[in-house]
Each structure stands twice: as C-alpha cells, then as structure tokens.
Chain A
C-alpha cells in the first residue's frame, strides 16, 4: 500500500512537473518566437501631448495599451525595459490622408487618338443623370481592401508614423476612408476605425457624354445624392411601419449608406485647396448640414479667419505646390501662382493663429523624408513646433474621431509611440524605436547598400568621401 501510495504520489508529482514544465516551455516558446507584450521605457524625456513634457520618466506599455506614464511609475515585473536615456518618447505620428495599403486603380483606358476629350468614350457605364449614380460607391470601405504587403507601410512606420487615414480613390463618392495602424499580423490587426470618414471628390467623372461633365454638375449631383439619402432616412421607418400602405421603396445602396452617415453626423471630407474652393466648401458644408472637414487647404493663409468662423477643421496637404518639373521655361506665370508657391507653407501658421483645428497629411509625397522636410518648411514659416506635433498627433486624432484612443501618451491610449534621439522635427534626429499597438520595432540604419565593385566615384579608396561633408542626415 505504502509503496503504491508513494508511486501514485510520484506519478502525481511527475504529472504536475510535466504540466509545469510544459507551461514553462510554452511560455518560453512564446517569448522566444513571439513578441513580448509588456514594456517599460525608462529614463526618457516624454512628450505626452496631453500636458507638460516629462524630462525623466517612464512609459509602461501593457498588451497594446499605455498602462502608465510619469516620473516614477511602477514597472511591472514582466516588462521588457528599454533604457531611454538620451531619448525622447512622442505619441505615434498620424498621416491624416494617404492611400497606404490600397491598390492603385487600374489606369483608365487611354483616349483614342484624334480630337482628344470630345472624342473619347467614357469608360464604363454612361450615366444619363444623377439617378444613374455615376462614380458612386460609398459602401466600399478602405479597411476591407487594405493590403498589408504595401512596402510603404514599413517606410512610414520606420519614420515614426504609427497611424494613417487611408482613402479609397476614384469617383465622386469613392468609399469610406479608414484609420489604420501601421503594423499587425493580419489585416484585422491594422484597422482602428473602418468607417472613419466619407471622402468626396468634386472632379466630374463624366467625360463629355456622361453625367456629370462639369464642376457645377458634380456639385448638383452631390446635392441630389444628399437629398435622396435624407429622403431615404426619413422614408424608411415610415414605410417599415406601414408596409401595406405604400409602394415599397426602391433599393438604393447609396441612399442607404449615405442616409445613415448623414443621420449619424459622420465626417465628410470635402476637397478644397485654393481660397475659392475653400470658401465654396464652407458654404456647401453649411447648406448640406454635414459634419465637414476640408482637405487640401493650402491657400488657408488667405482665408484662415473664414474657416475659423465656421469651426471647420482642415487636413493640410503637406505636398506644397512647386513649379511643375516639365513647365515651359518660357511660360509666363501669374504673380498669383508665384505668391501661392511662396506662401503655401505659411498656411499652418495662419490656421494656428486663427484657431483652426488642423492636421497634416502627406498628400502624395513620396515618403516620410519629404513629409518632415515640408513640415519643417511650415515651421520655418512661423508654425510653433509643438503645434506642428499636434497636427501629426492629438489634433489629427481629434479630427479623425479617434482621440479617445490615440494622439497622446496617457494611460489607456493605444501604445503608439515613437522614440527618437532628439527633437522630432530636427533634421538630424533619428528614430530609434517605434511602437504600434504595443508592437515594438527597433529602428537602426542599414549600412549603405554599396558593394566594393559598385564604387563609382573617382576617389581613391580611403580618401574622405566628398559626400560626407555636412554630416549625417543632411536634407532628410
């Protein structure tokens, strides 16, 4: 008996040991192959974005969220600790207007040779009026089409961008733009807010033979769609309560989607870059009673007060106007055009002064290097650097309706962080770490991809390279 008991006892111990070791094994396996979920960045300067910067503090990240931030906060025992000495922690940057992760539209069929526009047949269905819903697919959602293998996602993330508004393209109502974080294992991990904003384009889609073929036609069309959608939102409940009394309502996906959007006061993005367009957009936003945000906004320096009076936020396109590369060298340019190119970067300062809420977006810039360069131009033109940071973080989050979850370093916010070795807008600053949803990316510079045989300069080996003059990071 006793032996048997002992045997059973031993067996039990063995089983328990096995289980414990198994647990241990799985734990260590996760640790070895998966990602840690607790971090503490210590001894760092922390620009929280929701109060004064902390000169020497700690940020604790737990399971994708910020758990604690402050001068002396408890570090959980399971946390990875990153020594932040000499580093600065910022909220992750937001690019408030991109097409990251969205496949490019198929290029339109080229127009047949001959007399150009007038001879070209419109591609697709030929709309005969608003009822044909030209260029309209508001039910498309960027999040559903988001491709995680877009190489630019990594480029943006490595520069400190943790979040982007990604906008579908093509048509007057191309579809819903989504707020996405720039890391994840699968598509679903990236999406922060699938239905975030409804971008509209005023560009006619008609091509002479199809509606609409003019700016006024596009505006009239959008007005009719809003009328119809409001009508549907009003008519639907009445019909549903009285199904035997009325003819059934015709099925129209556009009315259903936009009717819901208007009812819920979702954000509608109106494109407007020059002052005429901006003032027009403000007027239309009033008329249509929509929760409007302007995107473009580069002539804002002329009409900042008018924008402020309407309390309409602006997404400012950082792709400042430039002389076209293929411009006619003899071509006469108007003073107005020259003034615009000169003054556009002063728009953010003007908006800031007038109290307009604004955010930055890359607007087709080729990469983060140009984004920072152009943000620096705005700072050089009078924008306070902390206001510039807000335009990439808290103000951006607020405009996009995600400020409850991101935009600053505060407990409960998504752990989107960028850790740098200097002031974020400084030309020489390098990004050291990026956290996206608590996922840690350590950034280091790759040595120049240069093979010995590739060396094309005439410099003898060992001579100091000319191109090093000026130091690292020139012209970021």
Chain B
C-alpha cells in the first residue's frame, strides 16, 4: 500500500525545483517550530511519549514533555504520530548526472560526484517521502579505486551547490571483487580486457596507486621545501587529479568507503590500509562481514550492509540476514543502506528486519539507519539522533516507523519542511491542471502550425542574390558621379 502511495507521489509530484521554495515561507529557518504531542524516538535517550520538539534556526532547541509554544512559532500537531531522526542512507547513487561509473579505468579517483550532483533528480523527493534526510552519494564499483564521493542533505529545490552536507569529510569509493575485476563484462572484439582480472590484481592495483600517491606527495613536499629555502627557477611537479584524493586518504583527510563481499578480500584491504597507515572508514555491502566481525571491529571500520539482499552473483551467495545483528553484537558500527533509489524509500522497514533476524532491540534497529550511518560518515555531531543542538532533520511517521504500516507524513531538514504528504496531495490538482493546460496549449499551437503549413503549400519564394555587378543603368544615374563609369 505504501508502495502504491509512493508511486502515486512519483507520478504527480512534479514540484519543480526553484518553485518549491516559495511555498516554504511558513517554515523559514529563523522561525520557531514546535512539534507537539508526538512519540519522540530520540535514539540516544529513549522514547518520549506526548513529547514536543522545539526548533529554532534549523536546530533542535529543546526536547521534552512540557514545552511552551513560543510567540509566533509554527505548531505541528503530531498527535498519535512518531518523530524519529531523519534517515541517513550510507550508500546511495541518486542525484548523479551523466553516469554513476567512470568505468573505463581501474583507478578513477579523478572523477568527483560533487561535480555532477543533479538537484532535480526526482529520487531526492521520493527518498524524502521515505523519511531520508541525508545520503552518502557514491561513485559506482567498476574500479578498484573509484571516484570521489560526497555526503548530501536531500534539500529538494535547492541548487546543487547547497546539497553537500557542510563540514562532512569527503570520501572515496574503493571496490573489491567481481566488479573491479570485470568478471561480468567482456570487451568487444579488438578491445583488450581491462586490468585487473583477479582479486590479486585488485589488491595490486590499489597498492600501486597508493605508492604512486605517496611518491607524488613526496615530490610536492620536496618542491615546497626547496622553494621555501629560496631556491629559484624550479619547475613544479604537475598536479595530478587522480593522485591528490589518494594523498588525502593517506593523510586521513578523506574517508574510504569500500565495496566488498568476501571475507578474504575484506581482510586483505584491512592489511593494505594498515601498511599505508590509514583506516577504512566503512566496508559497504560487506555481506560476509559476520564471518570476520571481530577483525572489522578491531580495524575501526564500520559495516554498511543490506538487510536481506543477496545471491545476485557468486560473491554474494554466502550472505545471511543476520549479518547486521551479528556484526553489531561484536562491536562493529553497522548501518543498513539502500544502494537503490527505491529501497531508500523504506529503510525504516529494512532496519526492522534486523529485529526478526538477530533480535536487535527496536532502538538498535533504528540506529542502523540513523545514528550509526551518521557515525560512519563523521556527521554524528550534527545528525542521527534527536538531541538539543543537533540539526532539525526529522521524519514524522503516522505509526511506529518499525511497523509496515508506517507512512511518512512530514520530513524536515534544517527545520524546514521539505516533504509534507498533505501538501503534496493538495498540490496535485493544480499541478495536473497546469500540465493539461500546457499540453492543450502545445496541441493548439501544433494544429495552427499545421493549418499554416497548408496555406503555405505554394513553392517557397527563395531570396537569391548575386554578387552585384555594376548596373548598366544605375537607378539613380543622375546622382552617380565619377569618371569612366
């Protein structure tokens, strides 16, 4: 049922960017908002029945049961409803313009998702309708070292420049296994298969790129040192867009999110990272993570997995739906992600599955899609729970979000309502009318053009010209002076 509702939303909610903003005047940032009478799922300090949340300047200003309505505040009566922190999707490919993979090369770290954010991708709005407020937008997994990634807030209607999550560390996608070794692609005749073709080769590719990055950094350090020492006439090293993000990885200034399946390759990457002195921030998919949960926990990496999605290729056969719970039990920070624009619309339900498979508590299940991904992305000081001082990124459901009957009523980011189910439904007739009017206008114009075309059936008079020769008798010969003519 929820799916049907959402599809209806997709079909009708053509709320174009740049026009939505105008409708939001009632929820401007500096206005106070009070959400009252709600069941508040704080994640960090239990649930509050009949509670209120006060929002000021886009931040959570107070949470409790006896908050007064400040003068001029907008009140959202959430009687019988549930408020949870906005859902954070740790693995998403929405809002990307012009291709998710730069798949032509084995190291594509020069490609940057931040360059191609598409704020008009309807998936942003659809995901908002599923309570998602932030997402880790990743490059695809075609390369051992993929492109640069970016964490965004789903600020539908804002330009691309306002999507990135302010202050979030940028990331980079690594990938292990079948995708980077191109197991499931064969090149056309005359094209050499891309290196690497084995898991060994994937390791070698990553190691070689990191060695290159280390040398690149040294080159620049040497140059800067010489220059600082007053050395003139130095030719600087070339900038290398491929290696610069890898230098940031080595310096701990950029998170590595690595696509992976099998236990052996996960252990391999932990060893490689140790060798080069950095940490893997998250293992993505990590379907065999339950086999080596202790090692992952010891490495400090997080695990971002699916609830129950596997078997779609050889390396995805050894998965179990207990993965998230088992890794959690061993101390790994675990999140459940979507990797898919549709799945992202019901991450609350995906989280709930870990209660059935593995027996997580309701609160721990919700953590899988809120506080834990926030920790994994290094944004837990800003989002992931309902605490005073955090961003007012909230999802309001009509039922307990862990119930299959739960449907999002409102989604707020920075204290601003970006999705409102009722507003969406109310706007549909006007939008539908506008659409029909535009279609009718176009149809009319096309008919007029056709009619015009009929009256124009005569052979067209073509303007012609020759380079003008001096006329034998100039039209105004009397005015023409000059000898010889």
Q: Which of A234-242, A309-317, A357-365 sits within the interface?
A: A234-242
B194 touches A209 (CB 8 A): yes
Q: Which of A166-174, A257-265, A438-446 sits within the interface?
A: A438-446
A474 touches B108 (CB 8 A): no
Q: Given A215-B99, A238-B235, A341-B442, check contact A31 B479 (CB 8 Å).
A: no
Tell me the minimal C-beta distance from A29 to chain B in angstroms.
10
B241 touches A223 (CB 8 A): yes
- CB-CB under 8 A from B112, the residues of chain A are 216, 219-220
**In the complex, A120 has a CB within 8 A of chain B:** yes
Give the distance in Å from the alpha carbon of A276 to the alpha carbon of B157 in the complex.
11
Give the distance in Å from the alpha carbon of A320 to the alpha carbon of B466 in the complex.
32
Give the distance in Å from the alpha carbon of A287 to the alpha carbon of B481 in the complex.
61
* Other-chain contact of A335, B14, B99, B108, B118 (Cβ < 8 Å): B14
Give the distance in Å from the alpha carbon of A129 to the alpha carbon of B209 in the complex.
14
A219 touches B116 (CB 8 A): yes
Give the distance in Å from the alpha carbon of A75 to the alpha carbon of B478 in the complex.
14
- CB-CB under 8 A from A334, the residues of chain B are 14
Choose among B11, B101, B110, B239 the residue with the greatest number of A CB atoms under 10 Å from its CB: B110
**In the complex, B476 has a CB within 8 A of chain A:** yes
**In the complex, B325 has a CB within 8 A of chain A:** no
Q: Which of A77-85, A138-146, A387-395 sits within the interface?
A: A77-85
- CB-CB under 8 A from A234, the residues of chain B are 235-236
B16 touches A441 (CB 8 A): no
- CB-CB under 8 A from B465, the residues of chain A are 154, 157-158, 434, 441-444
Within 8 A of B (CB), among A308-332: 323, 332
**In the complex, A183 has a CB within 8 A of chain B:** yes
Give the distance in Å from the alpha carbon of A260 to the alpha carbon of B160 in the complex.
32
* CB 8 Å contact bits of B444-482 with A (1 = contact, 0 = none): 001000001001111111111111111000111001111
Closest chain B residue to A469, Cβ basis: B455
**In the complex, A382 has a CB within 8 A of chain B:** no
* Other-chain contact of A468, B118, B185, B458 (Cβ < 8 Å): B458
Q: Given A279-B160, A447-B461, check contact A209 B441 (CB 8 Å).
A: no
* CB 8 Å contact bits of A194-237 with B (1 = contact, 0 = none): 00000000101010111111111111110110011001001100
Give the distance in Å from the alpha carbon of A254 to the alpha carbon of B242 in the complex.
19
- CB-CB under 8 A from A27, the residues of chain B are 484
Within 8 A of A (CB), among B12-63: 14, 16-18
* CB 8 Å contact bits of B118-146 with A (1 = contact, 0 = none): 11100000000000000000010000000
Give the distance in Å from the alpha carbon of A225 to the alpha carbon of B161 in the complex.
24
Choose among A118, A157, A430, A469 the residue with the greatest number of B CB atoms under 10 Å from its CB: A118
* CB 8 Å contact bits of B191-220 with A (1 = contact, 0 = none): 110100000000000000000000000000
**In the complex, B431 has a CB within 8 A of chain A:** yes
**In the complex, A122 has a CB within 8 A of chain B:** yes
Q: How many A-B residue pairs have CB under 8 A?
A: 248
Give the distance in Å from the alpha carbon of A335 to the alpha carbon of B14 in the complex.
6
A276 touches B452 (CB 8 A): no
Closest chain A residue to B439, Cβ basis: A338
Choose among B119, B192, B469, B475 the residue with the greatest number of A CB atoms under 10 Å from its CB: B469
* Other-chain contact of A80, B139, B233, B474 (Cβ < 8 Å): B474
**In the complex, A458 has a CB within 8 A of chain B:** no
**In the complex, B98 has a CB within 8 A of chain A:** yes
- CB-CB under 8 A from B188, the residues of chain A are 112, 119-121, 209
Within 8 A of B (CB), among A430-476: 430-431, 434, 439-450, 465-470, 472, 474-475
A467 touches B238 (CB 8 A): no
Closest chain A residue to B188, Cβ basis: A121
**In the complex, A35 has a CB within 8 A of chain B:** yes
Closest chain A residue to B454, Cβ basis: A467
**In the complex, A251 has a CB within 8 A of chain B:** no
* CB 8 Å contact bits of B172-190 with A (1 = contact, 0 = none): 0000000000000101111
B438 touches A121 (CB 8 A): no
**In the complex, A186 has a CB within 8 A of chain B:** no
**In the complex, B434 has a CB within 8 A of chain A:** yes
B455 touches A466 (CB 8 A): yes
Closest chain B residue to A456, Cβ basis: B457
Give the distance in Å from the alpha carbon of A246 to the alpha carbon of B242 in the complex.
25
**In the complex, B85 has a CB within 8 A of chain A:** no
B111 touches A24 (CB 8 A): no
* Other-chain contact of A475, B239, B241, B456 (Cβ < 8 Å): B456
Give the distance in Å from the alpha carbon of A434 to the alpha carbon of B111 in the complex.
50
**In the complex, B104 has a CB within 8 A of chain A:** yes
Closest chain B residue to A232, Cβ basis: B238
Give the distance in Å from the alpha carbon of A210 to the alpha carbon of B457 in the complex.
49
A335 touches B435 (CB 8 A): yes
**In the complex, B77 has a CB within 8 A of chain A:** no
**In the complex, A72 has a CB within 8 A of chain B:** no
**In the complex, A354 has a CB within 8 A of chain B:** no
A24 touches B484 (CB 8 A): yes
- CB-CB under 8 A from B457, the residues of chain A are 467
Choose among A112, A217, A441, A442 the residue with the greatest number of B CB atoms under 10 Å from its CB: A217
**In the complex, B340 has a CB within 8 A of chain A:** no
- CB-CB under 8 A from A447, the residues of chain B are 461
- CB-CB under 8 A from B103, the residues of chain A are 208, 213-214
Choose among A79, A130, A245, A335 the residue with the greatest number of B CB atoms under 10 Å from its CB: A335
- A-B contacts, 21 of them at CB < 8 A, read A32-B470, A121-B190, A128-B105, A183-B467, A208-B103, A214-B98, A215-B97, A215-B116, A216-B113, A216-B147, A218-B98, A223-B241, A228-B239, A231-B239, A238-B234, A275-B159, A276-B160, A332-B11, A341-B438, A465-B458, A467-B457
Nearest 5 interchain pairs by C-beta: A215-B98, A214-B99, A335-B14, A217-B102, A220-B110
* Besides A219-B112, A338-B438, A445-B462, 19 new A-B residue pairs in contact (Cβ under 8 A), listed by A number: A35-B468, A75-B481, A122-B191, A130-B242, A159-B463, A204-B99, A216-B116, A227-B239, A228-B239, A231-B238, A275-B159, A434-B465, A439-B467, A442-B465, A443-B463, A443-B464, A444-B463, A445-B463, A446-B462
